[in-house]
């Protein structure tokens, strides 16, 4: 049998074909390249082939089995997002057109608020043609729950968590500049922390020492912002001028921390863990430099918030950052992103899915630190939206984290296990046994990472007054330093969210307050994130009045309805929203 | 590109449906559906067919359906038993795939 170009020439017939493959590199072979697949035997059983591209699959009808009154919308993918724009239809059947995510379709179910809770089996029927032929139905069991209504009952008094002084000491210690040093039983002053990688007195010299917490060209988490938070916390402005400013604004060619340049050079569309919106707007404010605001606004092009949610479970972190971007753009940039609510609702689903098994016993495993990142975003979003799902979903995430926590050795399980269990997957694969074999392990080296969820425990405590969550967070917090010195990355992990965490734990921040907002004045100019647009939809109207009223009546927790910042929601705040809804300027001052 | 290859088949996708049919690769979305809220789901249904292969010629034949092979179509393979010798399925975290190369 000979080959001629793309076509084989030889004996064949209807329904016959050869296969080609580009070696074993798992890349898609081209039709005119690759090697002929030969087989040594026929195999056993039934062999099935599935086609990846150029075949449209049609949803035969609205899914069935959902509560009465459920409505559906359908979206099609674009670039990284599965839910970007309305899906096309043919013969009344929606489908996903060809493209990078060919065949993927996004189905959005809006369940009425009065739906009766219970277990239901839903049915999704897809067909190979637009006329309803070659169809298969996929069943998905759902648990319908009533709209959450977690009672807002904040503590009436607060204490300090064990280990707070140690956390403060490590923050500013500089025992071995630029290097990892110290052990867990040593004084905090001998443990390398964030300041160890940035000299607050003489400036970061060399500048590259700021690159201690990077992957490729991007810094992790809040690496730069944490220095500004340190300046606020300690009252020492050199952390701002000597570390934060250099990290954000340096333009040297070898410095990996040139955040402003990096964002501008990439038009704001960067890799998934680029996470700079809040820090850019902070820099804009504290340095009174609009170029940072311009860069911050460019973050609207960051792919998750620009294109909409990506629901594959491996993108929890990216969706969380997308929601963070949306919140920061709204809060600091007065920009409402079109996909904001899509990313929010998608993220809620991902967090819930990570805490529950499906009907076949499979749970979407998530690395627990990413659950902390998701909680970070949901809390930030709640502060603008008052979404009642936030405390409910965060509690579920926290309970999942705690279920695997070793409270004897004080170390968490970042990746659920055991190996080969339905909950163990690699960071890329769904319910396939992790080839690395680290599922279900609790390496002590991961203790620093567990700090990334402490803020959520303490926010939930500050919301509900439930001391169980205070005490669980205390345990995680107090042992995050057990292994001693921190690399730059570990320092970034620990101090990314712990300023918020400590604030909520000690009562210096209310649940509707974010560290840094309104606290930046020592370097010039205060800031308030308060707005009369309580649901952050870009309009101040009767909906916002209702939200403010609910908060004043304690029907919902007092959050962003506290416009005058006096710590309570009253008729004074409601009247300000009423006035703004009638066209007056929103009064957010005391 | 690797991401594209990382679809993992639901256990239910190997159900005994007639072929050709649609099968589902990955199904994202929550089990818990909160009343009064939107729940997002996403799935990638794929067109599937059964096949046999003649080891003497390595010619594959569609069985049990009417699918007409298209030159250049990309597919991946699984088996309820053992794939033909030389073919493989999930390896080292990735699903291999092939191009259809049609016979004239």
A·B CB contacts under 8 A:
370
Q: Is residue A34 part of a domain?
A: yes
- pLDDT at residue B76, rounded to an integer: 77
| B89 min Cα distance to partner chain A (Å) | 11
Beta carbons of A311 and B28 less than 8 Å apart: yes
Per residue in B29-82, pLDDT tens? 999 999 999 999 998 887 788 889 999 988 888 886 666 777 767 777 888 889
- Rg for chain B, CA atoms, rounded: 16
Q: State which of A127, A144, A161 marks the end of a domain.
A: A144
Q: State which of A144, A172, A202 marks the end of a domain.
A: A144
- pLDDT at residue A411, rounded to an integer: 94
Question: What is the value of pTM for the model shown?
Answer: 0.82
Q: Which residues of chain A have pLDDT under 50?
A: 1-11, 23-27, 206, 208, 426-434, 521-529
Do A76 and A136 belong together in one domain? yes
CB contact B56 to A (< 8 Å): no
Q: Is residue A537 part of a domain?
A: no
- pLDDT at residue A403, rounded to an integer: 94
CB contact A92 to B (< 8 Å): no
- pLDDT at residue A529, rounded to an integer: 44
How far is the C-alpha of A198 from the C-alpha of A192, rounded, in Å?
A: 11
The per-residue DSSP string of chain B comes to -HHHH---B-GGGGS---SSEEEEEEEE--SEEETTSEEEEEEEEEEEEEEEEETTTTEEEEESS-PPP-TT-EEEEEESSBPPTT----BTTB---EEEEEB-
- pLDDT at residue A137, rounded to an integer: 86
- pLDDT at residue B23, rounded to an integer: 60
Residues 6 or more apart whose CB falls under 8 angstroms from that of A130 comprise A56, A58, A90, A91, A93, A95
Do A67 and A26 belong together in one domain? no
Q: What residue numbers bound the domain in which A135 lies?
A: 58-144
Q: Are strands B74-79 and A7-9 parallel, antiparallel or unpaired?
A: unpaired
Q: Is residue A129 part of a domain?
A: yes
Q: Is residue A389 part of a domain?
A: no
Which of B73, B87, B99 to mutate against chain A (most A CBs within 10 Å)? B99
User: What ipTM was reported for this prediction?
Assistant: 0.83
Do A32 and A105 belong together in one domain? no
Q: Is residue A365 part of a domain?
A: no
- pLDDT at residue A518, rounded to an integer: 75
Q: Is residue A199 part of a domain?
A: no
CB contact A408 to B (< 8 Å): no
How many domains, chain A?
3
Residue A389: both structure tokens together: 């799902």
How far is the C-alpha of A308 from the C-alpha of A319, rounded, in Å?
A: 9
How far is the C-alpha of A293 from the C-alpha of A251, rounded, in Å?
A: 17
Q: Is residue A482 part of a domain?
A: no
- pLDDT at residue B38, rounded to an integer: 98
Do A76 and A107 belong together in one domain? yes
Do A119 and A94 belong together in one domain? yes
Bridge partners of residue A72, in order along the sequence = A109
- pLDDT at residue B102, rounded to an integer: 60
């Amino acid at each position: 049998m000979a080959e001629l170009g793309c076509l084989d020439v030889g004996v064949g017939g209807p329904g016959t074909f050869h296969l080609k493959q580009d070696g074993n590199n798992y890349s898609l072979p081209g039709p005119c390249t690759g090697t002929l697949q030969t087989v040594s035997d026929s195999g056993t059983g039934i062999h099935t082939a599935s086609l990846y591209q150029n075949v449209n699959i049609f949803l035969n009808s609205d899914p069935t089995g959902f509560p009465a009154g459920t409505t559906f919308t359908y979206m099609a993918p674009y670039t990284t997002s599965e839910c970007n724009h309305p899906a096309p239809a043919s013969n009344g059947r929606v489908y996903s057109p060809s493209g990078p995510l060919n065949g993927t379709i996004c189905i959005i179910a809006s369940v009425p608020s009065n739906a009766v809770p219970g277990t239901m089996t839903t049915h999704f029927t897809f067909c190979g043609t637009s006329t309803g032929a070659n169809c298969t139905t996929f069943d998905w069991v759902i648990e319908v729950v009533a709209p959450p209504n977690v009672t807002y009952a904040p503590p009436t008094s607060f204490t300090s968590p064990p280990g707070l002084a140690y956390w403060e000491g490590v923050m500013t210690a500089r025992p071995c500049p630029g290097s990892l040093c110290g052990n867990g039983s040593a004084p905090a002053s001998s443990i390398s922390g964030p300041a160890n990688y940035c000299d607050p007195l003489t400036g970061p010299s060399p500048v590259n020492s700021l690159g201690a917490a990077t992957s490729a060209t991007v810094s992790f988490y809040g690496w730069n912002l944490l220095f500004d938070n340190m300046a606020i916390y300690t009252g020492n402005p050199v952390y701002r001028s000597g570390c934060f400013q250099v990290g954000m604004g340096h333009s040297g060619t070898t410095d990996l921390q040139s955040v402003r340049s990096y964002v501008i050079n990439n038009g704001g569309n960067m890799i998934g863990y680029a996470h700079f919106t809040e820090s850019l707007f902070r820099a804009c404010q504290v340095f009174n430099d609009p170029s940072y605001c311009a860069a911050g606004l460019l973050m609207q092009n960051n792919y998750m918030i620009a294109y909409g949610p990506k629901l594959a479970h491996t993108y929890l972190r990216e969706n969380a950052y997308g929601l963070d971007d949306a919140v920061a753009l709204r809060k600091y940039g007065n920009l409402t992103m079109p996909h904001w609510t899509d990313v929010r609702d998608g993220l809620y689903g991902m967090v819930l899915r990570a805490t529950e098994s499906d009907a076949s016993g499979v749970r979407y495993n998530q690395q627990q630190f990413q659950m902390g990142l998701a909680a970070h975003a949901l809390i930030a979003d709640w502060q603008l939206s008052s979404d009642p799902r936030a405390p409910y979903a965060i509690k579920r995430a926290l309970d999942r984290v705690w279920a695997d926590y070793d409270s004897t050795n004080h170390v968490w399980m970042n990746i659920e296990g055991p190996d080969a269990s339905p909950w163990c997957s690699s960071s890329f694969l769904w319910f396939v046994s992790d080839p690395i074999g680290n599922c279900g392990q609790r390496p002590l080296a991961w203790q620093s990472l567990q700090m990334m969820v402490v803020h959520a425990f303490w926010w939930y405590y500050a919301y509900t007054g439930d001391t169980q969550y205070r005490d669980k967070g205390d345990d995680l917090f107090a042992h995050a330093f057990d292994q001693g010195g921190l690399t730059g990355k570990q320092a970034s992990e620990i101090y990314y969210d712990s300023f918020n965490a400590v604030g909520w734990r000690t009562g210096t921040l209310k649940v509707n307050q974010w560290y840094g907002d309104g606290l930046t004045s020592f370097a010039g100019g205060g800031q308030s994130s308060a707005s009369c647009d309580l649901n952050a939809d870009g309009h101040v109207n009767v909906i916002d009045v209702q939200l403010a009223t609910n908060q004043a009546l304690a029907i919902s927790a007092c959050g962003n309805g506290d416009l005058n910042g006096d710590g309570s929601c009253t008729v004074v705040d409601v009247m300000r929203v009423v006035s703004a809804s009638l066209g007056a300027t929103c009064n957010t001052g005391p | 590109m690797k991401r594209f290859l990382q679809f993992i088949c639901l256990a239910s996708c190997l159900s005994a449906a007639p072929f050709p049919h649609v099968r589902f690769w990955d199904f994202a979305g929550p089990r818990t559906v909160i009343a009064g809220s939107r729940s997002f789901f996403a799935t990638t249904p794929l067109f599937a067919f059964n096949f046999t292969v003649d080891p003497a010629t390595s010619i594959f034949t569609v069985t049990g359906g009417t699918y007409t092979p298209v030159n250049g179509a990309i597919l991946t393979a699984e088996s309820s038993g053992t794939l033909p010798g030389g073919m493989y399925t999930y390896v080292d975290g990735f699903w291999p795939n092939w191009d259809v190369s049609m016979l004239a």
